[in-house]
Amino acid sequence: MDSTGTRKRSAEKIEVAEPQNKLPCSAPSLSTEPALYSGSFPFYRRPSELGCFSLDDKRQYYGDARALRYYSPPPTNGPSPNFDLRDGYTDRYQPRDEEIQERLDHLLRWLLEHRGQLEGGPGWLAGAIVTWRGHLTKLLTTPYERQEGWQLAASRFQGTLYLSEVETAAARAQRLARPPLLRELMYMGYKFEQYMCADKPGGSPDPSGEVNTNVAFCSVLRSRLGNHPLLFSGEVDCTDPQASSTQPPTCYVELKTSKEMHSPGQWRSFYRHKLLKWWAQSFLLGVPNVVAGFRNPEGFVCSFKTFPTMEMFEHVRNDRDGWNPSVCMNFCAAFLTFAQSTVIQDDPRLVHLFSWEPGHPVTVSVHQDGPYTFLPTWYVEAMAQDLSSPPKTPSPKD
């Protein structure tokens, strides 16, 4: 940034797709072809936790760790687990209302309350990208995704670039028509967390309680990808009180469920598809281990396995149809460069909508003051106050 608040163009080459048809002018777009991004692994700063917040059973925000849970697996020398993941689905399940679009709101509240204490020096935030970890996960997996597209809304405000996902029409239609079996499968993932987590360190899980997916513990982190400073937040399942490091995010554990596998072909497919998503999500936040519970066709977890995040790639390293972490990270860096160079105007009501469908490049459309605007007035006005009110002069008593 220079003193006028204008973003300096970096020397980095923007990897914008060459128009194949050689038309003289076409709107800029970004290719997602894996072959274009297979260079060496880019710089990714070890994510450090800046803070956290919690959402309660009514989705109310608290600026503390009250919703953090503690990893409490059954003893390894005891009997093998037998967790009924369908238990409570019909009578003890309080699912979050997915019609409510929260966009970046909770993260913005955290940022507003901590903007004065951010490390990185004055102006760090003005050069940063603010988003959810889940949005970055989608970017990382894009070069390999063949089914689901995405839309990301982008606005620049006081220099900072904010990225907020927009539910695509197809995703909305799918959500509204979600088959009952898929709904139950989603519940089973949360039920597994309840079997594996305690409310207090050293405590025991209580599977008799209800599952309420409004409750969330979110970590807020600082990192950098290439020359892009990042501030993002992600939901964390639990912390391991026995972990060798008690320092977040390296004490965090991600919990997953997956179908029991019986053939080498099933494992291969698991490594190619599921492990890519698990890796991208946990690598971004710096979560060292993913604990997977394998469920049988009756919905019982009878075994689990820990997958260290840094070892996941080994399962596909020699697989021609596998994934490559460098491709994921280089594509994400290229997208962030593309977004930074596309969104020039500093205006919280102006949205550049980046859209992607499998088999196509990322395209952009521009929207002013419309339904895509996502930075809330309470945030914009409070942040603008900072700039308009002169800094307090210390009184002799201070």
**C-alpha to C-alpha distance for 266 and 219, rounded to whole angstroms:** 33
Which range of residues in 127-135, 145-153, 199-207, 297-305 is near ligand 0WD by CB under 6 A? Answer: 127-135
b (16+ CB within 10 A) / e for 147-182:
eebbbbbbbbbeebbbbbbbebeeeeeeeeeeeeee
Using the minimum distance from each CB to ligand 0WD, give the nearer residue, 31 or 299.
299
Strand ranges, E, within the chain:
48-55, 61-62, 70-71, 83-84, 93-94, 129-132, 150-157, 160-166, 197-198, 211-212, 216-225, 228-235, 238-239, 252-259, 289-295, 300-308, 350-356, 363-368
Answer for the pair 102, 242: CB distance below 8 angstroms, yes or no.
Answer: no
Binding string, residues 378-397; x marks residues near ligand 0WD by CB under 6 A: --------------------
| Of the candidate residues 189, 205, 229, 249, the single one contacting ligand 0WD (CB under 6 A) | 189
Using the minimum distance from each CB to Ca ion, give the nearer residue, 88 or 293.
293
Q: Which of 305, 256, 261, 301 is CA-nearest to residue 282?
A: 256
Q: How far is the CB of 193 from Ca ion (least distance, A)?
A: 7
**C-alpha to C-alpha distance for 110 and 289, rounded to whole angstroms:** 26
Check residue 165 for interaction with ligand 0WD (CB under 6 A).
Answer: yes
Tokens representing 335 are 């997208």
Check residue 235 for interaction with ligand 0WD (CB under 6 A).
Answer: yes
Residue number of the CB closest to ligand 0WD reads: 134
Check residue 132 for interaction with ligand 0WD (CB under 6 A).
Answer: yes
Tokens representing 201 are 């360190």
- How many positions of this chain bind Ca ion (CB under 5 A)? 2
Check residue 42 for interaction with ligand 0WD (CB under 6 A).
Answer: no
Q: How far is the CB of 95 from ligand 0WD (least distance, A)?
A: 8
Binding string, residues 47-86; x marks residues near ligand 0WD by CB under 6 A: ----------------------------------------
Neighbouring-strand partners of residue 259: 295
Neighbouring-strand partners of residue 166: 151
Contact residues toward Ca ion (CB under 5 A) are: 237, 255
Contact residues toward ligand 0WD (CB under 6 A) are: 96, 98, 102-103, 132-134, 137, 165, 189, 213, 216, 234-235, 256, 281
